[in-house]
Chain A
Amino acid sequence: MKMNGARIMLECLKKEGVDTVFGYPGGTVINIYDELFSFKEIRHILPRHEQAGTHAADGYARATGKVGVAIATSGPGATNTVTGIATAYMDSIPMVIVTGQVPTALIGNDAFQEVDIIGITRPCTKHSFLIKDVKDVAMIMKKAFYIARSGRPGPVLVDLPKDVQIAQTEFIYPESVDIRGYKPNLEGHFRQVEKAVGMLLDSQRPVMYVGGGVVLGDAADQLTTLARRLTVPVTTTLMGLGSFPGNDENSLGMLGMHGAYCANMAMTHSDLIVAVGARFDDRVTGKIATFAPNAKIIHIDVDPTSIKKNVRVDLPIVGDVQDVLSKMNKQLDKQKEKVEKFLSTLGPWHADIAGWKTKHPLSYKQSSTIIKPQYVIQKLRELSDDDAIVSTDVGQHQMWTAQFFQFNKPRTLLSSGGLGTMGYGLPAAMGAQAAYPGRQVITICGDGGVQMNIQEMATLVQNRLPVKIVILNNNFLGMVRQWQELFFDKRYSQTCMELPIDFIKLAEAYGAKGFHASKPDEVEKVIRQGFAEDGPVIMEFKVAREEKVLPMVPAGASLNEMVLNA
């Protein structure tokens, strides 16, 4: 059947199993919206800003594991998606972004709302396509989804000029796709796996260091099986939280700049680090020269460029983490005796770790007069559902959430780890709630970041998305303020927000409810009230203004040079 390019694009989304898209109309996508008007198989959610629409598609992708889809018009619509695309790129989130473009004949003429969005997004997309012929729409959409979700996932941008949307052709969706320059290596090399298991069983002080790759690769079960049978301590990055149960006795929690003391000490004293789906980011390693000085490193990752980029590696294994971890588990099945012997030698290592855990556990000083932000996070965990999804913005509240909200399941924490995007939390929660209308979705924000995409309150109310918005209000841009306190002699340059916002009235202006707590004994009541509401709510907590995130490894210091009290 003949269809126009706009319709073909939508049919392709349907073929790829897309049920929800986040998009914003405009001049060069009006044809897509005209087709969408009668296209009932896809739910379209209209955010109030394209950046938020892209973050929502990202939140949808992180929560479900499916490819998130965003649509924007050419020019400013397209440039507004850039922060969202870069956020997804840094955390390897599968997304397809469809942007309208001026008609092909006008490209390059500085036409109205023309921008070279392919050029602008080149460094922050996994790949991008400009479609110049309606006959290519189906194949390019097929390729876009394949590239976005396979190998190390990432965002793919498809630029679709207006005349291509209007032109007609026969719609045939290709059944398969073959790209000669793109063959991700998914199967871990068997010999390398054997060697890895050998090294692991020969070690005395092993640590598994787990990143977002385990969440993205749906390998949490395989990882948990491996770590539990060997009783190997597991530390995760921010992106890896939830891939190993935070309440497991072998969990060390998060490592790095604001990681747990025991996690950073374990890395420093380890003789074997098994890195799984992690990339040795500078926030994790601290000073590279003194990072894990006594450890051999096994690095498992689907992306060869991650290996040996920042640190030396003794044994690289390129492959899908689920495949590699399954193979390691099978290898262990065959080596029962060696496993027994290994388990019998781990006692001293477990004792060291238990010692570090007791010496400096994650802690804060409770107060009876002023709300401590960490206390709010702990109460939220206590009172929320087991499978609640939590998104965050970036800054102090993000680190407190990572430290004190125990994540036990994968895909329950949505946070911008790589790019560190303020304004991410609220729209990401919106995307997750759209995917799971029945689950509890909470976004934990500061008073700074929440105002970067606060307009999405309207989208939540309009689409009946009951996101619970938690604002830890200290009237500061807290993380920068903390750095100014510690390293810049308390010169609080432009970090005090000064104007207090009435968030309750703000919620009401959008037709939502707002609750407020300013004393510790009000915290639980406000959380219960908020969770009991059917619709979106704001829960605002006036917290201790100059509370710091601790422990902290100062930028450029070694992991074992933690500031514990300041």
Chain B
Amino acid sequence: MQHTISVLVENEFGVLSRVSALFSGRGFNIDSLTVAPTNDEGMSRMTIVTRGDENILEQITKQLNKLIDIIKVIDFTDGSGIEREMALIKVSAEDESRAEVLRIVDIFRAKIIDVTPRSYTIEATGSPVKIDGILDLLRPLGLKELVRTGAVAIGRGAKGWKG
């Protein structure tokens, strides 16, 4: 089962390598990983999408918590979080397909951010499922290049992670 985990970490030298080494050393999977600073200067936030059964997830969470530079681990799998992802998509668009691409972009509330006579570059944002959806429709028209950020997640409700 897929899990989305938020990991708050000290903004220190080598933290990313500690986390990625933990996953590779213990044979855990990473589907995606994003990391960037937060509103607290000394802290960064990683969002890791991973897979495994209940026991593996328990080990992943515990092992992450064991790392000295990790401040907090939040598992959003119970539906307590909202996930978003952005994709930049370069797609062929010539003759009759130009209009079709535009229709798809419109339906998914995406944006054209670059255009040439033979292509569109699209910015799409949404849940990872929505990104998969637009990609399924664009793929037959000729995907030239794709960049995904990987999911980021935040908890629902008024409270911040500190409670």
Contact = CB atoms under 8 A, between A and B. Distances in A.
A309 B59 contact: yes
A438 interface: no
B21 interface: yes
Contacts, number: 39
Contacts of A147: 68
B65 A304 contact: yes
Interface in B59-78: 59, 62-63, 65-72
A307 to B, nearest CB: 8
Given A123-B25, A179-B68, A118 B63 contact: no
Given A122-B18, A181-B10, A308-B55, A303 B66 contact: yes
A205 B3 CA distance: 41
A414 B106 CA distance: 70
B59 A127 contact: no
Contacts of B39: none
A122 B18 CA distance: 7
B66 A305 contact: yes
Contact of A305 (B13, B59, B70, B72): B59
Interface in B1-50: 9-10, 13-14, 17-18, 21, 25
A119 interface: yes
Contacts of A123: 21, 25
B109 to A, nearest CB: 39
B58 interface: yes
Given A123-B21, A304-B62, A181 B14 contact: no
Interface string A39-76: 00000000000000000000000000000000000000
Contact of B71 (A126, A180, A309): A180
Contacts of B59: 305, 308-309
A181 B70 contact: yes
A75 B9 CA distance: 30
B68 A127 contact: yes
B76 to A, nearest CB: 20
A371 B70 CA distance: 55
Nearest to A156: B68
Nearest to A127: B68
A308 B63 CA distance: 12
Nearest to A152: B66
A182 to B, nearest CB: 5
B72 to A, nearest CB: 8
Nearest to B22: A123
A104 to B, nearest CB: 12
A369 B55 CA distance: 56
A109 to B, nearest CB: 17
Interface in B84-134: none
A346 interface: no
Interface string A126-157: 11101010000000000000010000000000
30 contacts: A118-B14, A119-B17, A122-B14, A122-B17, A122-B18, A123-B25, A126-B68, A127-B68, A130-B13, A130-B14, A132-B13, A147-B68, A179-B68, A180-B71, A181-B10, A181-B67, A181-B68, A181-B69, A181-B71, A181-B72, A182-B68, A304-B62, A304-B65, A304-B66, A305-B59, A305-B66, A308-B55, A308-B58, A308-B59, A309-B59
Given A118-B14, A123-B21, A182-B68, 7 more contacts: A122-B17, A122-B18, A147-B68, A181-B9, A181-B68, A181-B71, A309-B59
